[in-house]
Amino acid sequence: MKGVIAGGDAQTVAAGKEILEQGGNATDAAIAAVFASFIAESVMTNICGGGIAIVGDIAQDKAQVYDFFVDMPSGKAHPEMDFHEVHSDYGPAQDSLYIGRASAAVPGIVAGLSALAKEHGTMPLKKLLQPAIRMARQGVSLSPSQEYVLEFLTPIYEDTPEINKMYRKGDGSAWRAGEKNAFPKLAENLDQLADEGERVFSLGAISQAILRDQADYGGLITAEDLANYQVRKLEPIRITYRNVELLFPAMPSTGGALIAFALKLLESVDLAKMEHLGVEHIRVLAETMRLTNIARPVWDAEASSIQERVERFLNETHIRQYQSHLNAILRGDNHPTEPVFPKSPDHTTHISVVDAAGNFVGVTTTAGESAGFVVDGTGLCMNNMLGEADLHPQGFHKIDPGTRLTTMMSPTVLLKNGAPEMILGSGGSSRLRSAILQAVVNVVDFKMPLEKAVHNPRIHFGAGVLHLEGGISAQRALDMEALGYEVNRWKNLNMYFGGTHAVALENGRWVAVGDSRRGGDGAVV
């Protein structure tokens, strides 16, 4: 075996597979796949967004978090800036968000992927870009899940003539699942990146195009913002759960610590003795999710360092307090009131890779829902992370310039006896936490093979509502209502419940599973 990879689209996975077949390591394959995802999954992520990766390097005997999420720009908000509200229709619910030039935060993906290539890869960045360049030039097929997202984000993709044209076929008709669409201007930008290196995005021609566009149309990103952006290298959060070790990112990830906290609560309960998705199991998961949300303000509170924040939130005394709450609720005590948190960016994707040597990478990226425009003279779409209300609780454009925004994204690694056994991650706002949590529990507690662990129906509890995915029986929903839960029934497996793309070691062999909820795929090379 040369390697194993899972991601959010077959075309994304094919790019990473191509690099593994050519002898690249896990980092090489992950980088190629991420660049390919900007074309194959362009409604989930793009080259002007941000991301977080966990990298395990055998030669260095070290696991490290790479934070290349977005920064607050330094331009001052003003009445003439391009910042306007649009509404998207998800079917069961409608959503309000803001797009335009002043919704774009300082992007970090190119800097992050370039740092990974330089510090952990074995192939030049130019070679790793070739699958994405070819795909952008020749075209990619739209998957049904990408079409679904494109449809309910129609107001964004029709906001300006340039982006509307980019997402329509040559005859002007809508791009539909199974049909191909090319991105020739983006191919040119990727060619520039391949020839000139990452500086083209921070100091070169592409950065100048972004800056002209921001200045001409009311954006807030400055030359200093692009030139001074820094990739951060951090230690992962490490916890034990049952007989395994798990690694998560800390700040700017909120999700990593919250998943770790939830797993530590579950350690006080013997899940293995419960019927999977029986009343007792669902109730334990729901109350764990409730208590994690109740504890979340302790994590979110200001701290002098990431380590202080981790120690405050995951120390044994704090965990035991909430374990006691959980077990008291399960014995019949009333549950406390759960706070309501705004929705995080939902349009996120993940890639998991392990190579033959045991090097591993889990990388999650997002651009929000896209800012609804194409940078003048390029094929670049920007992120709209400044238009996401949950990232700006004090109001839009109030955060200090240069501040790294927070994210729920949490690439996750499971180790046994110090060696990787599962790499996973998910998109899906707060539901990515419940998706990762249940995948880990399914593997560790219920001993499920990865395919079953990923594709079993899920639950999600938040804002006082218990969501039951399709495949959970109607009787189970009635049972939970009889216990006092407000239940929302879903008919089928749905991308609302995340998209967990994972690789795992089973019976001495690596397997890969892309979550069908979000069009995922996997490959073993």
- pLDDT single digits (tens) 258-281: 999 999 999 999 999 999 999 999
* pTM of the complete model: 0.96
To the nearest whole number, what is the mean pLDDT of the chain?
94
- Where in the sequence numbering do the catalytic residues fall? 348
A 10 A CB-CB count for 9 gives 28
In single-letter form, the type of residue at position 92 comes to P
N-terminal to C-terminal alpha carbon distance within the chain: 6
Residue 458 vs residues 31, 286, 293, 452: alpha-carbon distances, Å: 30, 11, 18, 12
Confidence of residue 513 (pLDDT cuts 50, 70, 90): very high
252 upstream amide cis, omega within 30 of 0: yes
Residues of the chain with CATH 3.60.20.40: 235-340+412-518
CATH architecture label of 235-340+412-518: 4-Layer Sandwich (3.60)
pLDDT digits (tens, 9 = 90+) for 166-201: 998 778 888 999 999 999 999 999 999 999 999 999
pLDDT digits (tens, 9 = 90+) for 342-353: 555 567 999 999
Characterize the bridge pairing of strands 348-355 and 244-248.
unpaired
Return the pLDDT at 90: 55
Backbone angles phi, psi at 354, to 5 degrees: -135, 140
Structure-token pair, residue 223 = 């030359």
Separation CA 28–CA 5 (nearest Å): 12
Comparing CA positions, the residue from 238, 339, 251, 240 lying closest to residue 295 is 339
In single-letter form, the type of residue at position 164 comes to N
pLDDT digits (tens, 9 = 90+) for 93-142: 556 889 999 999 999 999 999 999 999 999 999 999 999 999 999 999 99
Separation CA 357–CA 411 (nearest Å): 20
